[in-house]
Structure 1
């Protein structure tokens, strides 16, 4: 295979002699590789890991538990991490990042029912899995039937030379693999072997055939019968839902007046298939796409899986559907090529080389190049640092388009083209709104839209239609215009690099470009944050930020605290206003040539129409759009600065903010949000559409007796109240019997603010349910304090505990772990609450630390004053409680408890829960007793007593 490398030892020789280690919450267990095992303290375990490489699983998690404080691990901490081996041997294949998850993915015995361990516990079971997992993966590599042979030998050799512990062993295993040793093996440049996409003529505009209610019902029946067999019938609520929403798939009745339907469907209705039925039928009848938009990536993945019921053939599903996300989610092949060249040059660290080797293995087999929520092993972010992975995507908008040597293989361009001809495009709210704002009137924009998770439309619009004049935003724009200006490794392609060959010797365009690059010196440069705190700003932007920061600190009550600070813009001092005027002029000096350059690029499209190829035309158009967008951002910033001297515009909320994390300053800036972001959403997204469905289980606040009032508030939050024609309304209750399946308790005897009492409640309730518990928190600090207090007790009872903001894993991976391990517990904040879909016994208890009142930010205070005062607060809080409760029961046989640890919960909030469901206020001891009795499977296992 490699004539220049000596033969490598067989893993059969090396593996049996390697020590192994697993780490719990209070101790570690080590196998010496000779059949002996010993329990170690954290201090001794850490010392052992630093002295010699061990077989283990998930080094970053172990390093955190041992308090080695190295995330990602130090270069001198070597280990044979089974997760890294799995990522190499089985690229683009899913596994949970635990020993039991690895064993399950490899079809190995992985539970105490399958492995006989006398008097063993969790650690004994885990350490017994390590050797079989390593042996199976090495055996895979040596088999002639091994499926992932592309560049495997070249990549393994490169990583072995970089010092990866697994490298020599992998090469030894590959020596038995005939296919890996064949002459057809290529080098590590796997991007060269990716399939190219083929372009075609633009598709014609879709037709306007309606989907009737009867047709929607028939399509739904076909989908269900195809999956469950003849005689299967949809649920009545699902049929009614599918029939009602067919209105959104009729031709529009007036200009700028889409057929809009608001559909509230209780959990268990089956709304996903309910809207897929008419949406897929409309796409087939009219040869046009329907875009299905979600708020979370978790639901995007879930809908993609659900589409297998509509298109059981994977090839058909791949041709008819596509997942769309922002460019920053996809692997950029040019960035990867650049990073690989640096990583394998000998100048990079061993960890950089290992990361690139694993990325290249994944790249060769990825379905769509999605690194965030796709088939990329997301837990690698905890191993190597999320920033390293981010650098491999186009997260700064630096794409060269057709000038890129990888343009024809680009995952992003492939997805864009697929979405033009697909039946169903699974997107997200942020992408839909951003594209609509950037390309209003473009024929590529969807005309049929389904917004699932519709209760998040207001928040998504708030994020899409705002302006932030901050240090980080300004520095990012400078980097986009001028490229990298320091000697730091890596690269950043400035505007000159991206368009110089397009403008050629066009003197007018070149003059505009030179003016832009020179004017961009006014933006914050490298080191701007340190210069602000040292009162040594450079240029008008940093000068303005220095005065802005000083005003925030003067007007704040807790200037030395760990959290971010805010203050208003009213009565700003003269020096801040003067600095704002100076910056506005500097931004205008940049904006004018940017607008002129964008116009010139579009003019070149017309002037050179006879000579331009299609790729160059596409680049000119894309470059003009991109430059125009950033010119519009500069115009918005300039207007914000000028408005500092005027009375406040009632349509907007402006404020100053200093962003801090654990006492460290991260950013500072002037912020502007719409008071009602549903207005620009309605104008930009809804009005151009022909049909829109906005659906959720919690669109309405079920507080008032007047149903019309509930709908009016829902319509206000999703923009329907700003349209010419009224939206149609539909609602159906959940088919679940919540009175029999659930209970809601409010614990009324905990001392507020006492973290010890709070931790006691979580520990005792989690043990009473014997796991399957989701702990929700309104503050990260309380989550961390409770986690540290309860983890040892839970682990001693065999209950795994995972936590957002603590474990070095992304939220999606944490939820996957929680779902897979029936008795696990998970702690999290809003992102976990919104992203959890765990049917079955794995989620049977939800404990909320406090009433989730809105944070009293300046933006919320302004909206509170405009939208009803305390009634607005109550509405938002009830919706959050309702959404959290909705996680508990996901199918007909689920049972669960919802417990709120806040004695001051007002009764007026309790309508957040299903009608007729009794809410009991009890003491903690009674809540523990009820929890124990509610789950008879665990009745014989009593939790420890509450102190």
Structure 2
């Protein structure tokens, strides 16, 4: 029976309301009035609300209904994606979408008439959501029949992981010449066309799996494989061979979650049987990516309220069917948390390090622990650069520490290490440490507990530990507390840390603020500090020293508890104490790094580090203040902590040499991978892309779009997108310009039937934006750095890449120091060439792709053109000529016009 509610759809092309009898176009005011007075059916309420200018828009969102009925099932959150999963014809224009939503509701609710795969738990969840006044709850509850027997729901459905005996150390084995190439044939298929570059690559990668000859001297292979070589299967061949022969695990590390997902799919060739693949291949991420079952239980039992509570119940539905509990890039739809804006999704993960490990009632079902144990038995572990570095730096999982690594997206090792080994003594960091030690100070709901509560049983057993906890709690009172930012801004800081932050703020404004800075962040190098900052740093150091001492003592007392093994210390309790030791050690190391940074204030500079003061601001509002320290060369600690203990590592990428000349490019690759800090030189391998770039692509440098002229820039984007018929990835170096262009052209393109999506504008996560873009050949996407790398979109959806200007590095204090050490302007050129190579790499991904790369900058230096592949035609043209050439090139593309175009 049809629902008695209207359906609402709004796009840049117009607004429509549909009832059972009619569909009509309406104005914005009428649409808002109807939505405010009547429950409306819609698709993606935050996006529709943004288009209406009505941020508080709510209703019966079909995406929420889909998340309830089909948890852990992928769907592109568009009318086209909904039509696909509902088995309905796709609406052909915007005016048809509103009535289509009414049909989609009935199609989805028809699932409740039978036993669909995710039936179990739905009735129980619907009752809870009914009490929370979820708009869909009355409709769903009416359709669902109460099960004849009590259904298993969430915690009762989740399997328990099991402990296994420690895995023996990998055997010393050798992969014989030709073995990797033979394995590669098995992976690609015996009937597949042989690719000489891929075969040579597999052979070269084998060197990373040879036995190590000298301690702290791994076999390091740097391998650049141009797009289309097939490097994934190229390194999986020797990696899988070594894992089988040696009985060890190879950790494949990526920089982006998109590549992690892609690698998981590629391993199906290695292990076609799903059960075997589940045992042999495990994806690992940082614990902050996984759902915490204890946090979820707290949310379900009243820890959340309002819309956040509804999100918790939908997440619970997903958790019962999730493959791995990964909330960020796993099988939880990326669009689901965005439907609830900022209401609670991050509170469902362990982002504060408060895990009680074996003290948790859900420990044996924990997604994080299950992934860790599964990886200890796996042959291939798909991780990321950050997790690899964290595990190595903090001594995690020493018993299963890998001896062989593959660093895919290896050109990002420098950036990942820069983030991992940095120090930030900021208000946000100190208040987080205070909360970890003291727990909640202002009441409220939630399971958060302070250090004393988490270790109460240990404290009662060990007097020294109890005293150390009390001292740490007392010392934590000196850290920044709630309301610190307002007090500092008003010149009334409380305590030594807030006083330090006030001094940092004052000196930063005095030295860094410039007229017309528009409220963006400020920073100044930590040089020649004034007396106020020196005195504040001394007092803050004394307070932090008082804090770090009991933390170190507590860690030692807990180690003593393990050694003495009291009667109550069974296996789970031991695991909990070990977890506490690791967490305390991490905090103690952080405070020690802060002390080292403070010692720099008024003292001599350390040539290995770059130190500066910063006031972080966004939209003119301050949100953090602090001191920062980065390694001048972050690959030094990376080489020391990650590479040297390993026996072999392959660092690979399609743009490893960053588009430089041959020798210069390899020097860059070595410098940014840590190779110079090893005793043995790295071996090099390079395979050029097999694509015919002279035929498949061209680079156009537009010379008549004035820099800084937003209307002219917007006009250029609009004309180029229309000429290409969509399929455009627009890359910006500044969010402000991205928003300015989007605001000027979205309606114009909608009238052409060309949807436009934008990062930092649409209330949709970046991964979902890419999914939407990939799914529609007529759509275009605007974005910043996150879309320049790691995005794999086929040629029928990505035919044109447009950059709004030369991607020069931001002139920060850190960049200035590295520029000085790295050769001045030549250092800048290397960074720009690498960024251009990465951006161009989005364009041609398949042998039958065709497209154009446009740079909207007359100031594009000729010396940077080596960033593009040899043979690709490069021309400096006017905008009119660029539009004509793109229209001619892409109108002849066999793919243009094929497939369905989604309405705007």
Shorter-chain TM-score bucket reads over 0.9
Equivalent in the alignment of 1:224 = 188
User: 1:912 aligns to what?
Assistant: 867
Q: What's the CA shift string for 1:144-182, capped at 9, x where partnerless?
A: x3221222111112212221221111122213xxxx522
Find out whether 1:61 has 2:61 as its counterpart. no
Deviates more, 1:153-162 or 1:439-448: 439-448
- Within the alignment, does 1:209 sit opposite 2:173 as a pair? yes
Alignment correspondent of 1:138: 109
Q: Which of 81, 90, 104 pairs up with 1:110?
A: 90
Q: 2:616 aligns with which of 648, 659, 672?
A: 659
1:251 is matched with 211
Deviates more, 1:677-686 or 1:488-497: 488-497
Partner of 1:115 in structure 2?
none
Q: Name the structure 1 match of 2:579.
A: 622
Q: Deviations over 1:37-57 (max 9, x none)?
A: 211122221221111111111
Q: Secondary structure at the match of 1:340?
A: helix
Give the whole-Å Cα distance in 2 for the aligned partners of 1:387 and 1:250: 50
2: CA distance, partners of 1:328 / 1:620: 20
CA distances 1:848-878 after superposition (whole Å, capped 9, x unpaired): 0000000000000000000110000000000
- Listed as ranges, the matches of 1:131-170 within 5 Å are 131-143=102-114, 145-170=115-140
- Counterpart check, 1:779 vs 2:734: yes
Question: How is 1:640-789 mapped onto 2 (pairs within 5 angstroms)?
Answer: 640-704=597-661, 707-789=662-744
The residue that corresponds to 1:88 in the other structure is 68
2:746 corresponding residue in structure 1: 791
Deviates more, 1:601-610 or 1:523-532: 601-610
Deviation at 1:233, TM superposition (A): 4.3
Give 1:739 deviation, angstroms.
0.4
Moved more, 767-776 or 564-573: 564-573
The reply to whether residue 182 of structure 1 matches residue 168 of structure 2 is no
1:564 corresponds in structure 2 to 521
**SS of residue paired to 1:935:** helix
Checking the alignment, whether the CA contact within 8 Å between 2:504 and 2:626 is kept in structure 1 is: yes
Which of 640-649 and 124-133 deviates more?
Answer: 124-133
User: Alignment partner of 1:109: what SS?
Assistant: coil
CA contact (8 A) 1:440 1:684 kept: no
CA distance in structure 2 between the partners assigned to 1:665 and 1:746 by the alignment = 38
- Indicate yes or no: 2:16 matched with 1:29: yes
Unaligned runs of 5+ in 1: 1-11, 113-121, 942-947
Question: What is the match of residue 43 of structure 1?
Answer: 29
Task: Write the mapping of 1:877-916 to structure 2, written as runs, cut at 5 A.
Answer: 877-916=832-871
| Structure 1 position 793, deviation (Å) | 1.5
Contact 1:60–1:383 under 8 Å retained in 2: yes
Q: State the Cα distance separating 1:26 from its structure 2 match.
A: 4.3
Q: Is the 8 A contact 1:747 1:903 kept in 2?
A: yes
Match of 1:463 in 2: 419
Render the CA deviation track for 1:176-234: whole Å, top value 9, x for unaligned. Answer: xxxx5221325xx6224311111122111111212234111111111112xxxx43244
Residues 863-896 of structure 1, C-alpha deviations (whole Å, 9 max, x = no match):
0000110000000000000000001000100001
Shift of 1:497: 2.4
- Which residue matches 1:5? none
Q: Which residue of 1 aligns with 2:792?
A: 837
| TM-score, with length taken from structure 1 | 0.93
Secondary structure at the aligned position of 1:660 is classed as strand
The CA distance in 2 between the partners of 1:426 and 1:47, in whole Å, is: 50
Structure 1 residue aligned with 2:900: none
Structure 1 CA distance, aligned partners of 2:350 and 2:620?
A: 30
Q: Give the counterpart of 2:508 among 540, 545, 552.
A: 552
Match of 1:52 in 2: 38
| Aligned-partner Cα distance in 2 for 1:155–1:170 | 10
Counterpart Cα distance in 2 of 1:440 and 1:487: 34
- Per-residue CA distance 1:639-694 (angstroms, 9 max, x = gap): 11111111211110000000001111010000000000011110011000011000
CA distance in 2, matches of 1:52, 1:354: 20
How many residues align structurally?
A: 895
Deviations 1:58-88 (A, max 9, x none): 1110001111133xx5xxx4x1111010000
* Cα-to-partner distance string for 1:612-631 (whole Å, 9 max, x where unaligned): 32222222222112211211
Contact 1:100 1:126 in 2 (8 A): no
Residues 784 and 806, structure 1, Cα contact 8 Å, conserved in 2 = yes
Give the alignment partner of residue 535 of structure 1, picking from 488, 491, 508.
491
Structure 2 match to 1:399:
355
Which residue of structure 2 lines up, in the alignment, with residue 171 of structure 1? 141
- Unmatched runs of 5 consecutive residues or more in structure 2: 898-904
- Separation of aligned partners in 1, 2:147 and 2:564: 55
The higher-RCO structure (CA 8 Å, 6+ apart) is 2
- More divergent stretch after superposition (209-218 vs 862-871): 209-218
1:589-632 deviations in whole A, cap 9, x for unaligned?
11111111111111111111776322222222221122112111
